[in-house]
A = this chain, B = another copy of it.
Amino acid sequence: MEYEQLKLGNQVCFPIYAASRLITRAYQPLLDQLGLTYPQYLVLLVLWETDEVSVNDISENLILNTNTVTPLLKRMETQGLINRNRSNSDERRVIISLTKKGNDLKEQAATIPQQLLEKLDVSELDLHEIIDLRDKLNRLIDAIRN
């Protein structure tokens, strides 16, 4: 029996899964120069926008579980990128803040998005399609999260 809905080429999930890994691979050589992995880079993006947030804030922003974020943050602490401190007002919370090293990386990271687009050879014309793609995905994400 042949099922059209089971063909790899008809899946929506698979292109998202594959694109995600391909883009992460494309980022890696650029991030290597800063000594970062892609999830670590995402954590820094959050902190560069708002310093001193809780573990929970980070896991919600990145849509990751705390059992993924906790060890990720511990590795970043070991690397001297962030500090982890218990909140005084609520002893359950751990507040993440940037070290000087973590903050200084921002300048170097600023060129990464442009470098990535060049690497992927995205022209001005394609950029509209990319942005449309981003917005469609964000609507999909909102829909899934309810």
Task: Please state if B46 and A8 are interface contacts (CB–CB under 8 Å).
Answer: yes
Closest to A23 in B: B13
Task: Please state if A16 and B20 are interface contacts (CB–CB under 8 Å).
Answer: yes
Closest to A14 in B: B42
Copies of this chain present in the complex amount to 2
A38 CA to B12 CA in the complex, in Å?
Answer: 13
A38 CA to B143 CA in the complex, in Å?
Answer: 21
Task: Decide if A79 is an interface residue (CB 8 Å cutoff).
Answer: no
Shortest C-beta distance, A72 to chain B (Å), equals 14
Task: Decide if A34 is an interface residue (CB 8 Å cutoff).
Answer: no
Task: Decide if A21 is an interface residue (CB 8 Å cutoff).
Answer: yes
Closest to A140 in B: B19
Task: Please state if B141 and A19 are interface contacts (CB–CB under 8 Å).
Answer: yes
Given contacts A1-B110, A13-B27, 12 further A-B contacts (CB under 8 A): A3-B110, A7-B45, A11-B113, A11-B134, A12-B133, A15-B138, A17-B20, A17-B23, A22-B141, A22-B144, A133-B136, A133-B137
